[in-house]
C-alpha cells in the first residue's frame, strides 16, 4: 500500500484525505453512523481522534489502515450504551466486525480488538500497537483545551453546575468504581477532572502519546486552578 500524505489541520481537508487513503471505510460512510451520539462523543470527536491516531501511528510505526478504521468506528456503540447500559467499546467492536465484513478476517479482528480496548474505566487493556495508538488518541482528545470544552459540553447536557467542591479521597477511588450517577447535579467538570482527566496522562502507552499529553495536562491543571480562584473571588 502506498504511503499516504500526513494529516494537516482542517476537518474539510481531513475528510478529503481520509476518503482517498482509506481502503476500509471512508469518513462519509462513518459519519452516518454517529447521527445519534451526544455532542461530546459526536463525529467531530471522531475526526480529532483520527487526526491524533494518524500522527501517533506514523511516529510509532503502527499499521495505518487498521488504526484509521478503528478510529472511525471506535464510538459507534456509544448511543446504545446510553440506551441500554452495555459497554460502548464492546458494542462498537461488534458493530465494526459487521460493518467490515468482507475484508480480511485477521485485519477486521485487529480493528475490533483495538476498539474493544479503548475504554478508560473498564475492559481489556490494549495489547497491540494499533490498540495502544487508538487508546492514546482517544484519551488525548479528553484532555487539554478540548478536554475542558468536552467536559463542559457534558455538564450543559446534564444540567451540572460550573464548579463544585471535590470531597477528600474522591480522586483516589479506583477507575472501575466510576463516579456514580452522571446525572447527579452535584457532579461538575471539576469532579470529572479530579477523578478521570487528571489521571489520563499516566495511562497512555506510546512515547508519542505521552509527549503530547504533557502540555495538555498542564493546561488543564492551570485552567482548573484559575477557575477555583475566580469562583472564590481571589482573582
List pLDDT tens digits, range 154-174: 898 888 999 999 888 787 777
Asked if 50 and 40 count as a contact pair (C-beta separation under 8 A), the reply is: no
- What CA–CA distance (Å, rounded) separates 128 from 121? 19
What domains appear along the chain, each with residue ranges and CATH number? 11-123 (1.10.3210.10), 144-231 (1.20.58.1910)
User: Does the pLDDT at position 13 exceed 80?
Assistant: no
pLDDT (0 to 100) of residue 97: 96
Q: How many residues does the chain have?
A: 235
Phi then psi dihedrals of residue 35, to 5 deg: -60, -30
Q: Nearest-CA neighbor of 140 among 234, 209, 221?
A: 209
User: Does the pLDDT at position 14 exceed 90?
Assistant: no
Over residues 85-106, the mean pLDDT reads 91
- What CA–CA distance (Å, rounded) separates 17 from 201? 29
Q: Other C-beta atoms within 10 Å of 43: how many? A: 18
pLDDT (0 to 100) of residue 19: 42
- What CA–CA distance (Å, rounded) separates 80 from 86? 7
Whole-prediction pTM value? 0.85
- Per residue in 37-56, pLDDT (tens digit) is 887 788 999 999 999 999 99
Please give the grid coordinates belonging to residue 181: 450517577
- What CA–CA distance (Å, rounded) separates 176 from 137? 21
Residues 6+ apart with CB under 8 A from 173: 195
Q: Other C-beta atoms within 10 Å of 122: how many? A: 11
pLDDT (0 to 100) of residue 184: 56
Phi then psi dihedrals of residue 63, to 5 deg: -75, 110
- What CA–CA distance (Å, rounded) separates 2 from 15? 19
Amino acid at each position: 500500500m502506498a504511503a499516504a500524505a500526513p494529516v494537516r489541520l482542517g476537518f474539510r481537508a481531513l475528510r478529503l484525505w481520509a476518503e482517498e487513503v482509506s481502503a476500509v471505510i471512508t469518513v462519509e460512510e462513518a459519519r452516518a453512523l454517529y447521527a445519534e451520539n451526544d455532542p461530546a462523543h459526536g463525529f467531530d470527536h471522531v475526526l480529532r481522534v483520527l487526526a491524533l491516531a494518524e500522527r501517533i501511528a506514523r511516529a510509532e510505526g503502527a499499521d495505518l489502515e487498521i488504526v484509521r478504521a478503528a478510529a472511525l468506528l471506535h464510538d459507534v456503540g456509544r448511543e446504545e450504551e446510553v440506551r441500554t447500559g452495555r459497554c460502548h467499546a464492546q458494542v462498537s467492536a461488534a458493530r465494526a466486525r459487521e460493518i467490515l465484513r468482507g475484508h480480511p478476517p485477521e485485519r477486521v479482528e485487529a480493528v475490533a480488538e483495538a476498539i474493544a480496548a479503548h475504554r478508560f474505566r473498564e475492559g481489556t487493556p490494549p495489547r497491540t500497537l494499533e490498540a495502544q495508538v487508538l487508546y492514546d488518541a482517544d484519551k488525548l482528545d479528553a484532555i487539554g483545551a478540548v478536554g475542558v470544552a468536552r467536559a463542559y459540553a457534558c455538564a450543559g447536557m446534564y444540567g451540572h453546575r460550573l464548579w463544585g467542591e471535590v470531597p477528600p479521597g474522591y480522586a483516589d477511588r479506583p477507575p472501575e468504581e466510576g463516579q456514580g450517577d452522571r446525572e447527579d447535579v452535584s457532579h461538575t467538570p471539576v469532579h470529572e477532572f479530579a477523578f478521570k482527566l487528571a489521571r489520563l496522562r499516566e495511562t497512555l502507552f506510546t512515547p508519542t502519546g505521552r509527549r503530547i499529553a504533557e502540555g495538555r495536562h498542564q493546561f488543564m491543571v492551570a485552567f482548573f486552578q484559575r477557575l477555583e480562584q475566580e469562583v472564590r473571588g481571589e482573582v
